[in-house]
Amino acid sequence: MHLFTEYVNPHLGRLLETLNMDKRFVRGEGCYLYDAEGRRYLDFVAAYGALPFGFNPPDIWAALREVEASLEPSFVQPSALQAAGELARRLVSIAPAGLRYVTFANSGAEAVEAAIKAARAATGRMGIISCDNSFHGKTLGALSATNRTSYQKAFGAPVPGFVRVPYGDLEALERLLRERGEEFAAFIVEPIQGEGGIVEPPPGYLRAARELCREHGVLFVLDEIQTGLGRTGRLFACEEEGVTPDVMVLAKALGGGLFPIGAMLCTEEVYTEEFAMKHSSTFAGNTLACRAGLRSLELLTRDDQALIRQVAENGAFLKSGLERLQERYPHVLRRVRGRGYMLGLEIGVDRTTYGRTCLLGVLAEQEALTPVLSSYLLNVCGLRVAPTLNGSAVIRIEPPLIATREQCQAAIDAVERMLVPLAAGNTAELVSHLLGIESRPQVLPAPAPRLLPEPDGDPAEGRVAFLVHPVDLRNYPEMDESFKVFSTDELARLSERFNDLLEPFVAGSARVRGQNGRRVFIDFVVVPRTAEQLMALPRAEAVAQVRAALEIAKKRGARLVGLGAYTSVVTRGGLSLKDAGVPLTTGNSYTVVSAVEAVYMAVERLGTRLPEATIAVVGATGSIGRATAILLAEGVGRLVLIGNPSHPDASRRRLLKVAGDAIAHLAGLAREGHRFAPGTIGHRLIALGPLPEEGAAPEAWQGLAGRLEEAGALAITTEIDAALPSADLVVTATSSAEDLVTPANLKFGAAVCDISRPPNVSRAVKDARPDVLVIDGGVVEVPGRPDLGWYFGFERGLAYACMAETMILGLMHHYEDTSLGTDLNLPMIRQLRHWAGELGFRLAQLRSFDRPLSEAEWAELMAARSRVLSPAGDD
C-alpha cells in the first residue's frame, strides 16, 4: 500500500489505485512529470491552474532563494510586513480600477471567507447570493456558497443566509434582488465556472449583474481564483467585459506554483475597520509567499504581458483543434468550452449512445466515465488531465501558461486517440490498461443511438422492477460486448476494479403485453457483482448493495420489485428487505412451475416412465428445491432429497421436514380423490394404511416419511456423490456456485434439470457424457417475445422464470409480497401457473448449457443413449 493511501487519505488512495492513477511522480520540470519508472507525462492539469509556469520554475525558486540569502524574516506579525505591502501595491496597480486594499490568505477558500466577512461587515447584511453549479472552496463559508450537496451534507452546509440563483440568468437575479435585496450583503460569481464544467455565461452577463447589484446595494464579488492571472488569455477574466467588482479574490497562480497564497482585493468602501481589526491569519502575508507572488506578477506582466498574449493565441489554436475533433466525433464529444488555457471537453455519452449493452453509458450516468477516460489519457497517451468536480461529464484542459503550440498539438492528438474507442463503444480498449495488458483489436457493431422505452403514466399499466446481477464472469461480455476479448482471469480482475467504480444501475426497460391485453412496464436494475462476489461479502454489506438497487427501483416508480438470482439468496429470500417500503417477490414460485414443466417435457421426449424413475433433488431444503420436490413427488416412483453436506445433522432435520411436507401434500391429494399410478410414492403411501387427519402435527408426516425411506421409496442424504448414480432424473436448485454435478457422479442415460444460477452442472458433462441430457430449468417465453433490453445470453423474448413472475404479478396488479422465504405457498404456485397461461407465458424450448437444444443435438443424445443401452434397456 502506498504511504499516501495508508496514512493520508485511504478512500481517495484506493480510488486512485483502482484507476491506475496512483502514480508516484519523482520529478517535475516545466510541463512534464516523470514517474518512478522514468516515464514522462505531459501535464495539462497544472494543479487546477496553480502552476502558471509549470513545475519547479527557476524564476520562482530564485525569488525564494533570495529570501534565504537575505535572511529576510517571514513570520513577524504584528509588524509592518514589507513583502506583503509590496505585493499588495503591485496587485492594486494591475487590478481593475477602484480596488484599493488587499487582504492576504493562504488559499483560495480562505480568500473567499475573507470576502464574505468583509461584505457582511461593510453592509450589515448577512445574506450571500451564489450561483447554481458554482464552486468557491471547501471551508464552511466557501462551501456554503458552493453548489454541490454531496460536499455539503456531512458538514452542515450551507449555513443559514446562503441563496443560489441559476448561473447566467439575469432575470432570476433581478427577481431575487427586487423581492429580497435588503437581505443580501454580496453576490459572488465566477467569470467562468471552473469546477462547474468550464461554463461561460452569456455575453454581457457580468456587466449587467454588476449593475443590478449596484441598484440594490449588494456588493459584487468576482471569484477569479482559477480564471485570474492569465488563465483565460487576459490578466483577469473580467477584463473581457470591462467589469470592475467591489471585491475580487485571487489565489492559485499567484504563488507561481511553489508557494500557497490567496488574496482578497476590495474597494475602499468595502474595507471597514471592523473587518480590518478582527480578521487575521498567522501565516497569511508571509514573506516567502509574497516574494513568490511578486515574482509571479513580474513574469506575467513582462514585455507587455507577452506570456498572457501567447496563452490567448495558443489557447485559440488548442480550442480550434479540439473543436475539429468534436465535429468528427459529435455523438461522444458534445462540445468544447472555455477560452485561453481554461478549456473543457463535455463528454456526451449515456445509455442511448450505442444502441447496445455498453458499460460506458452506465459509467457516464454514475459520473465515473471521465475519471476512466482521464486514466486512459494518463496511462496510454501520457497526457495528464482531470474531470471537473461539479461538471462530472467534463474533462478539464488546463495546461501551464508556458505550454507551447507543439505541446498543445500533442494534447490534441492524445484526445483523438481516446475518442476513437469512445466513439466505437469499445470499453475494453479504454480499460485494458487497468489490467496491465495491451488492447486487442476487435470489430464492434457501429453505434446506433436508440430511445429507451418510458412508462406512459397510464394507471392501467403495471409498474415493476427486477434486480439482476452477472451470475458469473461469463456474463460480462453480455453486459458489454467489447469484453469478449478478455480471458476469464482478466474478467475476474476487471470485475474487482469495477466493483469499486460501479453502483447499481438501470440497465434497460421494457413494456410487456399479455395475450389478454394487460400491460406492465418493467425496469431491470443491475447489482454489479457476480454470485460468488455477493456471497463473499459480509451479509450486511451484501444486503446494502441489494437495498441500493431497490431504492433505484422505487424512485423509478416500481410498485413491486423482483429479486433475481443471488439478490434473493443474500437477503434470505427477501425477508431481510421486508422494511423496504415496496412489495417484493423472489420469483421462486413460477420458477418451480417452469422447472416441473421442463422435467415433464424432458421425460415425455425421452420416454421415461416416472412411476419407475428415481428423481434426486439437490438443494431440497431451499425454497425452490422444496416446492419442486413436493410437486414432483406426485408422479415419481422414488424421491431422493439431497441437502448441504457442510452441516449433515441440521440438513437431515430440514430434509425430513421437507419429506414430511411432501407426504402431507400427497395425503391431501388422496383426500381429494386423486388416484396415484402404481409404483409411485403416493401409491405406496396409501398402501401403508390409514393416514393422519388433515392438520396433523408435522411429526406424524415425518414419521410416515421415515417408513417410506425404510421401504426404499424415499431417501434423505447429504452425500451427493453416493446418491446421484441411482437417479434417472436430477434437479439442482442450490445457492452454491460450485460444480456439484459432474461426469463421474451421474447415472448412465440420466437427465438433469439445472435451475441453479450459477449452474451446478459442470460444463465437462457436455463433452464427457453424451448420453446425459442437461436442460436449463426456469427459462420461459414472454408473450409477444418483446425486446427486454437486458438478458444474460437469451434470445429475444426469453426470460428467467423468476423475472417472468415479476412481470406476471405486475400484469395482474398483484402488488403484495410473494414467494418470500423458504416455504413457498402451493396455492400461489398454482395461481401463478393459471395466470401465466391466461397471459401467454410458456416454457421456452428446451435449453442446454445456456443455448437452445437443437434437433441435431437431440438426435446425437438419443444415438449415444441407444449405443450404450442393451436391447433389453439395461446398463
Find out whether 227 and 336 touch, Cβ atoms under 8 Å.
no
From residue 698, give the alpha-carbon distance in Å to each of 299, 661, 694: 91, 8, 11
Residues with Cβ within 8 Å of residue 278, at least 6 apart in sequence: none
Q: What are 642's strand-pairing partners?
A: 618, 717
Q: What is the mean pLDDT of residues 541-570?
A: 95
Highest mean pLDDT among 317-326, 391-400, 699-708: 317-326
Q: Helices 10-18 and 488-501: crossing angle, nearest 10°?
A: 140
From residue 806, give the alpha-carbon distance in Å to each of 211, 255, 503, 803, 840: 60, 61, 23, 5, 14
Find out whether 59 and 295 touch, Cβ atoms under 8 Å.
yes
Report the distance separating Cα 22 and Cα 6, nearest Å: 13
- Determine the pLDDT at residue 473: 87
Provide the 8-state DSSP code for 201: P
- Determine the pLDDT at residue 758: 82
Closest CA to 141 of 124, 162, 121: 162
pLDDT (tens digit per residue) in 258-312:
999 999 999 999 999 999 999 999 999 999 999 999 999 999 999 999 999 999 9
Q: Which three cell numbers, joined as nine digits, stand for 676? A: 396415484
Provide the 8-state DSSP code for 794: P
* Banded pLDDT at 639 (limits 50, 70, 90): very high
Q: What is the mean pLDDT of residues 802-826?
A: 94
Helices (H), 432-580: 476-479, 488-501, 531-536, 539-555, 566-569
If DSSP codes are grouped into helix, strand and coil, which group holds residue 726? helix
On the question of pLDDT at 400 being above 50, the answer is: yes
Q: How much is the pTM? A: 0.86
Report the distance separating Cα 790 and Cα 770, nearest Å: 32
- Determine the pLDDT at residue 791: 56
Where do we find the cell 422414488? 638
Report the distance separating Cα 477 and Cα 473, nearest Å: 8
Q: What is the mean pLDDT of residues 452-458?
A: 85
Find out whether 236 and 228 touch, Cβ atoms under 8 Å.
yes
Report the distance separating Cα 175 and Cα 182, nearest Å: 13
- The enclosing H or E element of 296 equals helix 287-328
Longest Cα separation, the chain:
113
pLDDT (tens digit per residue) in 650-696:
999 999 999 999 999 999 999 999 999 999 999 999 998 888 988 89
Q: Is 319 a catalytic residue?
A: no
Strands 638-642 and 614-618: parallel
On the question of pLDDT at 874 being above 90, the answer is: no
Provide the 8-state DSSP code for 5: I
Q: Name the residue type at position 47.
A: A
Core vs surface per residue 281-307: b (16+ CB within 10 A) or e: bebbbbbbbbbbbbbbbebbbeeebeb
Helices (H), 398-446: 405-424, 427-431
On the question of pLDDT at 870 being above 70, the answer is: no
Report the distance separating Cα 3 and Cα 16, nearest Å: 13
If DSSP codes are grouped into helix, strand and coil, which group holds residue 542? helix
* Banded pLDDT at 849 (limits 50, 70, 90): confident
- Residue 589 has a CB neighbour count (10 Å cut-off) of 28
pLDDT (tens digit per residue) in 339-361:
999 999 999 999 889 988 889 99
On the question of pLDDT at 257 being above 50, the answer is: yes
- Determine the pLDDT at residue 678: 94
Report the distance separating Cα 756 and Cα 739, nearest Å: 10
Find out whether 558 and 465 touch, Cβ atoms under 8 Å.
yes
Residues with Cβ within 8 Å of residue 778, at least 6 apart in sequence: 591, 594, 595, 598, 755, 757, 800, 801, 802
Report the distance separating Cα 668 and Cα 689, nearest Å: 15
Percent over 90 (pLDDT), the chain: 85
Q: Is the peptide bond before 690 cis (omega within 30 degrees of 0)?
A: no
- Residue 511 has a CB neighbour count (10 Å cut-off) of 18
Report the distance separating Cα 513 and Cα 679, nearest Å: 43
pLDDT (tens digit per residue) in 530-555:
988 999 999 999 999 999 999 999 99
Find out whether 398 and 311 touch, Cβ atoms under 8 Å.
no
Report the distance separating Cα 796 and Cα 659, nearest Å: 39
- Determine the pLDDT at residue 777: 86
Q: Which three cell numbers, joined as nine digits, stand for 379? A: 496511462
Q: Is 747 a catalytic residue?
A: no
Closest CA to 223 of 250, 204, 186: 250
| Candidates 43, 53, 246, 252; catalytic one | 252
On the question of pLDDT at 872 being above 50, the answer is: no
If DSSP codes are grouped into helix, strand and coil, which group holds residue 563? strand
Provide the 8-state DSSP code for 7: I
**Residue 729: how many CA atoms within 13 Å on its side-chain side?**
32
Where do we find the cell 421442463? 598
| Candidates 53, 55, 104, 135; catalytic one | 135
- Determine the pLDDT at residue 792: 59
Where do we find the cell 517571514? 74
| Candidates 53, 162, 223, 771; catalytic one | 223
- Determine the pLDDT at residue 790: 59
Report the distance separating Cα 75 and Cα 614, nearest Å: 90
Report the distance separating Cα 496 and Cα 851, nearest Å: 28
pLDDT (tens digit per residue) in 459-491:
999 999 999 998 888 888 888 999 999 999 999
Q: Is 766 a catalytic residue?
A: no
Report the distance separating Cα 282 and Cα 509, nearest Å: 59
Q: Which three cell numbers, joined as nine digits, stand for 125? A: 447584511
Q: Is the peptide bond before 78 cis (omega within 30 degrees of 0)?
A: yes
- Determine the pLDDT at residue 757: 81
